[in-house]
């Protein structure tokens, strides 16, 4: 498994654990109101599970599994890896900015975090686009 896939899958597991921890805190608050600020963690919970866990796990596996350029191109068989690394960095930064902005109530930060996440998706599409081809060349 390439290092980028390992990094993205490990970060996805971190987001998974963080998202479920936050969800558990919010669920406990509904049963036993102990700290009203806990409900402000909802944006972090949503971004951590939907973007950080689900999307990043899919990107990490896709980077590993999609067809490589074994014979056609010299160098990196997975193509332009810089775009994929940028994607992982942008996704994680977007989740952090959106989550933190939700906690402090900064709506512009929520939009900025979502924009970073969208740029991360775009960067991964740019990376993966040349690798989408038939398994057997025609």
d(CA 73, CA 30): 56
What does the pLDDT look like over 72-91, one tens digit per residue?
Answer: 556 677 778 899 999 999 99
Please state the domain count of the chain.
1
* Structural domain harbouring 119: 3-131
- Whether residue 137 lies inside any domain: the answer is no
- Whether residue 58 lies inside any domain: the answer is yes
The full 3-state SS of the chain, as one line of letters, equals: CCHHHHHHHHHHHHHHHHHHHHHHHHHHHHHCCCCHHHHHHHHHHHHHHHHHHHHHHHHHHHHHHCCCCCCCCCCCCCCCHHHHHHHHHHHHHHHHHHHHHHHHCCHHHHHHHHHHHHHHHHHHHHHHHHHCCCCCCC
How much is the pLDDT for 61? 96
Whether residue 120 contacts residue 88, with contact meaning beta carbons closer than 8 Å, is answered with: yes
Q: Name the more confident of 58 and 1.
A: 58
Can you give the pTM of this predicted structure? 0.87
Structure tokens at 9: 């899958």
How much is the pLDDT for 10? 97
- Whether residue 138 lies inside any domain: the answer is no
Q: How many residues would you count in the chain?
A: 138
Structure tokens at 103: 């906690």
How much is the pLDDT for 67? 72
Split at pLDDT 50, 70, 90, the class of 3 is: very high
How much is the pLDDT for 68? 72
- Whether residue 64 lies inside any domain: the answer is yes
């Amino acid at each position: 498994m390439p290092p980028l896939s390992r990094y993205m899958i490990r970060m996805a597991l971190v987001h998974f654990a963080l998202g479920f921890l936050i969800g558990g805190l919010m669920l406990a608050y509904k049963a036993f109101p102990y700290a009203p600020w806990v409900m402000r963690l909802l944006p972090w919970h949503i971004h951590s599970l939907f973007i950080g866990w689900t999307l990043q796990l899919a990107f990490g596996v896709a980077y590993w599994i999609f067809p490589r350029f074994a014979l056609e191109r010299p160098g990196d068989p997975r193509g332009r890896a810089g775009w994929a690394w940028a994607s992982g960095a942008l996704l994680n930064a977007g989740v952090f900015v959106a989550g933190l902005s939700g906690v402090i109530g900064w709506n512009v930060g929520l939009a900025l975090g979502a924009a970073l996440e969208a740029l991360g998706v775009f960067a991964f599409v740019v990376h993966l686009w040349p690798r989408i081809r038939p398994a057997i060349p025609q």
